Structure 1
Amino acid sequence: MNYLFLLSFLLFGTCKAGPRINCFPEPNANQSLCESRGCIWNPVTSEDGAPWCYFKDGVGYNLDSQNGSVYNLRKNNGPKNPWGADFQNIQIRTSSIGSVLNVKIGLEGRYEPPVDFPRATLPSSETLFFTTASSEDLFWFSVIRNTTNRKIFDTSLGGLIFSDQFLQLSTYLPSENMYGWGENAHQTLKHNFSRYLTWGMLARDQPPNSLNLDTMNLYGVHPFYMCLEPDGNAHGVLIFNSNAQEVTTAPGPSLIYRTIGGNLDVYFFPGPTPALVTQQYLAFIGKPFLPAYWALGYQLSRYGYSGLDEMKQRIGAVRDAGIPLDIAVADIDYMNRYKDFSTNDKWTGFEDYVSQMHGWNMKLIPIFDPAVEADYLPFQDAQAVQAKFIEWEDFSQVQRDIQNLYPMANQTKIMLGVVWPDRHVAFPDFLDSTGRTQAWWKYELELYHSKLSFDGIWIDMNEPANFGTNEQHPWYFDDDDHPNDAPLFCPTNGTNRWELPLFQTHAVYYYGGNENNAYLSSKTLCLAGVQNNGTFRFYDVKNLYGLTEAIHTQAALMEVTGKRGAVVSRSTFPSAGRYAGHWLGDNTARWEDLRTSVIGAQEFNLFGIPFVGSDVCGFLGTSNEELCLRWQQMGAFHSFFRNHNTLGEPAQDPAVWPAVATATRIANLFRYQYLPYLFSLHFLASRDGLTVVRPVFFEFPMDTATFDLGYQFMWGSSILVAPVVYQGAVTTNLYLPNDVWYSLFDYKYGSQIDSGYITVPSPTTSRIPVFVRGGSVIPRQTPTTTTTMSRLNPFELLIAPCQLGKAVGVLYWDDGERIVNSFDSHDYHQLDFSFVSTSSGASLTITRTRKGSITLPTLDIIEIFNYPSPPNFRSFLLNGQSVNINVQSSTYSGITKTLYISTKSLINLTSADVITLEWNNVSK
């Protein structure tokens, strides 16, 4: 044990063997190169992936002076930074923002992400405090929970580095139960600390690979994690940085975070429950938007429709199969040569068909890419109003061989790239502080809406994606459907500090580094570019592109349609959930991708984006009957529920296979039946910052068996879902935490199910395993084939009592489409339900906590599980007045202990502020 760790033990009460901090994360490390950096070369044969080249002890700073909550640090005499000159003097500033602790390491005046977080806070029963320590030449700090004195962040590991384009922060963690960091395809819900794993975070047009462990970065950036402490307390950590970055999880447990710009601006959320961590985080970054009610319906999509007739055929087949369907989605096929705001000849009559769909109570969501062709009328419109595009810093950088082709762009610094359209494209600058670009974007959407009356918007390719960057022979040169446009080349042949920083992160090194044509600018624009008249460097703000487009697309959609609708975005960043949902990208039709999509939806709920789901049945590759059937069953429980596949593959909508059509109809009818509950969860998420699909440990943080149940999840606090995710499975092995549970699927429907590890039948012909938790009142409706028609049906209540015979629940209800400017002024109903059962009878109390003006259907059906004895149907009283129960449609089963009360117009939910239905049981 060296002196540093001995002192750490004496001061903090722990003694840990420190993990190795990689000193050569680039490819092709060897002893000579390693030692030339002043680092240790020590090959190891262990399977934990420990780096062979690692820093000597003592990397960091020492404390120069302190002024209150400001700590002035000076670079110590320890090892130097291999990736640039260390700043000799930096500061740590600490502050409390309500219950949130902020620790900011860096320098005033450095780049900070231009993201407008609300920075609101929620109170907590716990406090996190900042404490410091040092040994001879090394300063470190810890963040400690006041009630337990547990260190939740402990930088005694060392390794603090701060230079212009390389920043590193290392910490021990209080446990291995850590969740989050994204966007990556995680094969387990809980991170693995048995080995060293580095995850890249750079927004890139990169499909997930779920076949094997793959740590590459995907479409969005979310430097946030939640950690469960050994005693069940939870906390969250956000590192607010928008540069290319990475995190290494390592034994210890520990993590090493690196980024190549900005500051180390760290926010700690104290919880202490997982739900409260999420609420605190979302209060700070912004709560998610409330989707239109119809957006929770089933969506049918594909890339590769031959024209409108094929869309009609596939939608017709699904409708004819009796499968509930709400939304038709149009991919780039509908455009004229893939240009935004256009329709091609094969889609003549599209608006007429949309009108017909609207008559069926269906909706349309078309895709829009951000890039605009540089010889096209919308680009001319943009130039006329002085809209801005991502551009080069100065004219000397402009690729004249490309720019000279386009008279409208020829005298500009606009950076021209290649995406789907036939000719070069420009990328709108949604950070334009003049507002002209945003106004132009809204104008184009409004103009196109006058031709095609869409209801929502899907935004794609917004990392932003660019084809063939820095490639002499890009893939589209071999594609008959794309001209051989000259590719974009970035200044990577010298020492350009933006294109070739000394450290380029896992986003480059994973692909083999520059010798394999991997750059930060691969698949995107040149990082030397600028936005907002040079105010921002693309190097710094690239990861914000999808967020900024989503902000202004949602605003445009609402203004154009006058309704809240829904926007879905591929690229996301913290706070994107305020403006858009997300799908998990261009997955593959494989069982592995089905499994990672179950995990991905839970993660994005942690990130504050509950309107999330996967491309059901898989996007890439050819799906098959069994996989598609199981994916349809699982996808019915994700908020964003869309079947989608790619060009050149056969159709995979559920009507292709009779068995899949039957299974999908069953799954969708269940979903539509429980949409009032699902919508209420989204309402709570939007109003209060809660999750919709959540990990099981959220509800059971003291139960260690729940910590890595990645393939099970909760719908709110009351429903647990265990989808079938393995090929050939006809049973499901699952875990029910210690509580009261009832079956909601075909196996023993309504019966109480023992908790613990169980195996249940899961044939393809039934619902997947679904359970309701005791103590719950769940609102629902009789389903029909669209959300609009289902909303007109009478309400039902499912009551699942706890052991004491009690249950509670809530329903939130608005008109399903009105824009929510503030929940204080929004027009909605809130109905709280409370049920109590005794041996002699029962009562259901309905309290109208919030009075809206929207017409409410009546409550006609009440289904109660585990009801102890037969009721006296003649004893029912509604607010003291006798009520006639329809005994022909109402039943009680002494075998299943299920009471089913069904009477037309049983309860007018707006008849009083408090409504009580009570009854007696049959006397023995």
Structure 2
Amino acid sequence: MVKQVPSDRRIDCLPKPGADKATCLFHKCIWDDGHYSDTTVPACYLPPDTGYIIVQKSNVSLKLQKSRDGALNPYDTDITEIGVQITNSHSLLNVRIGVEGRYEPMVPLPRACRTSEQHFVTEIPNVSELFILRIRRMTTGQLIWDTSIGGLLFADQYIQIATFLPTDKIYGFGEHVHQNLKHKFTKYATWPMFARDQPPDPENPYRNLYGVHPFYLGLEKDNNAHGVLIWNSNPQEITTGPGPHLIYRTIGGILDVTFFPGPKPEQVIQQYLEYIGRPFLPPYFALGFQFCRYGFKSLVEMKETIERIQNASIPIDVAYADIDYMERYKDFTIGKEHWSDFKRYADELHKNGMHLVLIFDPAVQNVSFIEWENYDQVQHEIQNKYPLTKGTKIMLSVVWPDWHVAFPDFLDPEPLTTEWWIEEFKLFHQMLPFDGIWIDMNEPAAFGTNEYHPFYFDDPERPARIMPLKCPLSGTASKYDNPSYETWNSYAYNFAEAHLSNKTVCMSGMTNRGTQRIYNTKNLYGLAETIATQKAQHAATGKRGVVISRLMIYSLTVFICNTRCSKAVIELYSSEKSTFVSSGHYGGHWLGDNSARWIDLRVSIIGIQEFNLFGIPYIGADICGFNGETSEELCLRWQQLGAFYPFSRNHNEKGKTSQDPSRWPDVAKATKEANLFRYYYLPYLYSLLFDVSLHGGTVVRPVFFEFTSDPETHDLGEQFMWGSAIMILPVYQEGATSVSGYLPSTIWYSLREFDYGALVKPGHSKFRAPKDELIPVFVKGGVVIPRQQPNMTTTLSRNNPFELLITVGKKFNFIKFCS
């Protein structure tokens, strides 16, 4: 008789939409005809004896054989024999499950270990028993992982492992729009992870966005914390269940899981960043306020906007140019008609102590490209249009330029692509002396893939209806573009027409000079471009910089290409759009093409905290919202919040009303006050970024990181800290003149001008927050914070005297410098 599994402890046998009883029973799974009020409960689920049997065992390795009991793999044929390797090095525990020779991400991680007194131990059954992995904290005996829930499957294109969790206080996984800082385990929820050029939408949270971060932090019942990294770059997903339990699925590679012992939350992140690479240190000017606009019609309009902001006495450091400055959206070009005087304006900005950041999307010649595997896959009706691609296997697609583009192979094992990239930046910097690099579309993104009538067919500005990229979705060549299970990275969209290649290039495409498939490496593309861009920035400017990235593309018609915004930063600085594990070592990130809505403002507060967990502390959202028309009140409140983003930039889309803060007198006043406060405390913010570049850790910090023993702090997603000392409570509701928040039990002082230095009672409170005052900001007692009298730019501010803010704590003799 089949043993039933309670509804809160199930592993879905058929996670693909449309499960039915016949298919369920065919795969030896259990069908439940019960009707639950919770529609997320799997009706078809795996029996708990599904998995592998131990056939050989030593202290550090095991050989497993597929069990004849349990269910069949629903989407592929399980590999009969797999191996397990367990490495307990210093305080880190690593578990690898799979077969030698399978793909693993080709990313050079330090894999260093930060010393800790905490350790993990493993418990594994005897030979001939079902493989179960239990991981315990040695000092307390607390179970961290317990795979006795069953469900281990390992096929070429369907791999799964599941575990009970010791807590429902789980934070991380990305990139998504999470409505709460702490994951909710009351229902089943699936979070796909696969880099996609997808604007964040809080009303559709279960969608994969620009980056991939399979890392989480868990807070145990005794308030010890641990971290878990699942090292895989293939399409993947996490399902959380009420057990509480977690199910991880991927359709390629192996299972490579590393455990970090903490035990404090900040120590977990320090250990994690020691392993993957500590964050880069942005230049000081990159901490100033920044302004961008997609849709400037000319350099004159851009100059007038920046001057308006300056005339309102709003501190500002960086002016951005989106793709408008290019000649027909081609990289490394300057528009001849409306932007010809750009170099003179750049010189003027520099003379006034300001800086210039440009967007780039590449196009290449004589380097490696993303290619088709075989000549018979090439779309000759596209390829033959261009003399330089005729007879090649270069994969062509569509982005911003008028004609087809090719995608540089930034994963090229030879240095030629990076060397070309560096040389182009060096030459262009001589034409236009920029200070930062903004890279976009590096998921990589492409327009109209697999579509018969892509949106750009209706664009009157395009000179021709060029055909989109078509990927092999049927036949023997469709293994990678139409696998049996595409994960919810596809199913979260239009199920009938969704594919992994939608909005990007074909999964069957080849990178690494023809040795690896996009199916394996797509999630690494943005990271690889960011690394190349950081090198280019250093070579072009000779300065430490910042790179902010999302993606890059290349036009073969003129060997230059342009794309839109990416999420990485270069001092120069660069900012990246598409990120992966370790991206923070090379650049910063912005949270994507958000919308001018109150809910977008609120979830950005959670987003900046999550990316600090991921090791990307130079993080921010488009202030006032990118898509749609903002309102005066929303923009005012967002400027007040944005003054506390490490990456503080106002940016909006083409065709919408300008939302520069000088547009409304009240917004200008509020922005001036907020920015002056930010500039006053920039030495402290910079010291935090400096500290994490040396030792790892967080800059924007969840409150529970500092007050872990207080359960009231464990899900305070709408407030956050700068380091260990300053607490920020943003206003995120329309029409509010106060904000509810929680101050943990310690001494707090107000930093707002109207009640500066006043003692503030800890606990749950409602704090006044009229629009004409700074949002509530408090400082903890017993700390020393550096600050500096502000000016209109960081360049001018640096001429002013420094100050030390010293706050009295419970013990007058206990004062420390805050980090």
Q: Report the TM-score range of the alignment, normalised by the length of the smaller protein.
A: over 0.9
SS in 1 for 2:133: strand
8 Å Cα contact 2:57-2:127 kept in structure 1: no
Quick one: distance in 2 between partners of 1:369 and 1:466? 12
8 Å Cα contact 1:554-1:566 kept in structure 2: yes
When normalised by structure 1's length, the TM-score is 0.84
SS in 2 for 1:140: coil
Q: Which residue of 2 aligns with 1:475?
A: 455
Quick one: distance in 1 between partners of 2:625 and 2:815? 38
Q: Which residue of 2 aligns with 1:601?
A: 608
Distance apart, 1:434 and its partner CA: 1.3
The question of 1:411 aligning with 2:402 is answered: no
SS in 2 for 1:521: coil
8 Å Cα contact 2:748-2:760 kept in structure 1: yes
1:268 to 259, 267, 284: 259
SS in 1 for 2:778: strand
8 Å Cα contact 2:332-2:428 kept in structure 1: yes
Q: Which residue of 2 aligns with 1:739?
A: 746
Quick one: distance in 1 between partners of 2:657 and 2:56? 68
Aligned-partner residue type, residue 491 of structure 1: P
Q: Which residue of 1 aligns with 2:14?
A: 24
Distance apart, 1:32 and its partner CA: 2.8
Quick one: distance in 1 between partners of 2:373 and 2:204? 39
Change (3 A) 1:22 1:134: farther
Q: Which moved more, 1:742-751 or 1:794-803?
A: 742-751
Quick one: distance in 1 between partners of 2:2 and 2:219? 30
Q: Which residue of 2 aligns with 1:327?
A: 318
Quick one: distance in 2 between partners of 1:668 and 1:313? 20
- Cα offsets for 1:269-314 (capped at 9, x unmatched): 0000001000000000000000000000000001111111110111
Quick one: distance in 1 between partners of 2:816 and 2:58? 51
Aligned-partner residue type, residue 626 of structure 1: E
The question of 1:305 aligning with 2:303 is answered: no
2:49 to 53, 58, 74: 58
Change (3 A) 1:393 1:357: same
2:119 to 111, 123, 127: 127
8 Å Cα contact 2:783-2:818 kept in structure 1: no
Q: Which residue of 2 aligns with 1:240?
A: 231
- Cα offsets for 1:765-812 (capped at 9, x unmatched): 111000000111110000001011111110011111102224534489
Q: Which residue of 1 aligns with 2:370?
A: 390
The question of 1:102 aligning with 2:104 is answered: no
Quick one: distance in 1 between partners of 2:818 and 2:165? 39
SS in 1 for 2:163: strand
8 Å Cα contact 2:624-2:650 kept in structure 1: yes
8 Å Cα contact 2:409-2:513 kept in structure 1: no
Aligned-partner residue type, residue 582 of structure 2: S
Quick one: distance in 2 between partners of 1:230 and 1:213? 31
Equivalent pairs counted in the alignment come to 787
Quick one: distance in 1 between partners of 2:289 and 2:816? 25
8 Å Cα contact 1:446-1:560 kept in structure 2: yes
| Pairing of 1:446-595 with structure 2 (within 5 A) | 446-482=426-462, 483-495=464-476, 496-513=478-495, 515=496, 517-567=497-547, 568-595=575-602
Quick one: distance in 2 between partners of 1:727 and 1:49? 32
Distance apart, 1:56 and its partner CA: 2.3
Select the structure with the greater relative contact order (CA < 8 A; seq sep ≥ 6): 2
The question of 1:723 aligning with 2:730 is answered: yes
Change (3 A) 1:194 1:18: closer
SS in 2 for 1:777: strand
Quick one: distance in 2 between partners of 1:29 and 1:72? 33
Q: Which residue of 2 aligns with 1:37?
A: 27
| Pairing of 1:458-857 with structure 2 (within 5 A) | 458-482=438-462, 483-495=464-476, 496-513=478-495, 515=496, 517-567=497-547, 568-746=575-753, 748-810=755-817
Distance apart, 1:2 and its partner CA: 8.9
Distance apart, 1:150 and its partner CA: 0.5
Aligned-partner residue type, residue 102 of structure 1: N
8 Å Cα contact 2:54-2:127 kept in structure 1: no
Quick one: distance in 2 between partners of 1:532 and 1:242? 15
Distance apart, 1:325 and its partner CA: 0.2
Question: Larger radius of gyration, structure 1 or 2?
Answer: 1
Q: Which residue of 1 aligns with 2:556?
A: none
Quick one: distance in 1 between partners of 2:201 and 2:813? 46
Aligned-partner residue type, residue 592 of structure 1: I
Change (3 A) 1:48 1:275: farther
Quick one: distance in 1 between partners of 2:4 and 2:261? 28
Quick one: distance in 1 between partners of 2:26 and 2:654? 51
Quick one: distance in 1 between partners of 2:461 and 2:19? 42
8 Å Cα contact 1:50-1:195 kept in structure 2: yes
- Cα offsets for 1:825-862 (capped at 9, x unmatched): xxxxxxxxxxxxxxxxxxxxxxxxxxxxxxxxxxxxxx
SS in 1 for 2:431: coil
| Pairing of 1:65-144 with structure 2 (within 5 A) | 65-77=56-68, 78-133=70-125, 138-144=130-136
8 Å Cα contact 2:294-2:324 kept in structure 1: yes
Distance apart, 1:37 and its partner CA: 2.8
Q: Which residue of 2 aligns with 1:225?
A: 216
Distance apart, 1:38 and its partner CA: 2.7
Structure 1: give runs of 5+ residues left out of the alignment: 6-15, 373-378, 813-924
- Cα offsets for 1:568-618 (capped at 9, x unmatched): 000000000010100000000000000110000000000000000000000
Aligned-partner residue type, residue 558 of structure 1: H
Q: Which residue of 2 aligns with 1:173?
A: 165
Q: Which residue of 2 aligns with 1:146?
A: 138
| Pairing of 1:336-347 with structure 2 (within 5 A) | 336-344=327-335, 345-347=337-339
Distance apart, 1:393 and its partner CA: 0.7
Distance apart, 1:54 and its partner CA: 1.5
8 Å Cα contact 1:226-1:236 kept in structure 2: yes
Distance apart, 1:519 and its partner CA: 0.4
Distance apart, 1:47 and its partner CA: 2.1
Quick one: distance in 2 between partners of 1:163 and 1:422? 43
Distance apart, 1:398 and its partner CA: 0.8
Q: Which residue of 2 aligns with 1:216?
A: 207
8 Å Cα contact 2:413-2:513 kept in structure 1: no
SS in 2 for 1:138: coil
| Paired-residue identity, % | 53
Change (3 A) 1:667 1:116: same
SS in 2 for 1:574: coil
8 Å Cα contact 1:4-1:135 kept in structure 2: no
SS in 1 for 2:338: helix
Aligned-partner residue type, residue 369 of structure 1: D
Aligned-partner residue type, residue 498 of structure 1: Y
Aligned-partner residue type, residue 533 of structure 1: R
SS in 2 for 1:346: coil
SS in 2 for 1:347: coil
SS in 1 for 2:600: helix
Distance apart, 1:669 and its partner CA: 0.1
2:152 to 137, 154, 160: 160
- Cα offsets for 1:475-534 (capped at 9, x unmatched): 111111233111000001325211111111001111143x2x210100000000111222
Quick one: distance in 1 between partners of 2:106 and 2:394? 22
Quick one: distance in 1 between partners of 2:620 and 2:814? 30
Quick one: distance in 2 between partners of 1:133 and 1:592? 48
Change (3 A) 1:52 1:754: same
1:296 to 284, 287, 295: 287
Quick one: distance in 1 between partners of 2:121 and 2:39? 33
2:182 to 176, 184, 190: 190
Distance apart, 1:41 and its partner CA: 2.4
When normalised by structure 2's length, the TM-score is 0.94
Distance apart, 1:456 and its partner CA: 0.7
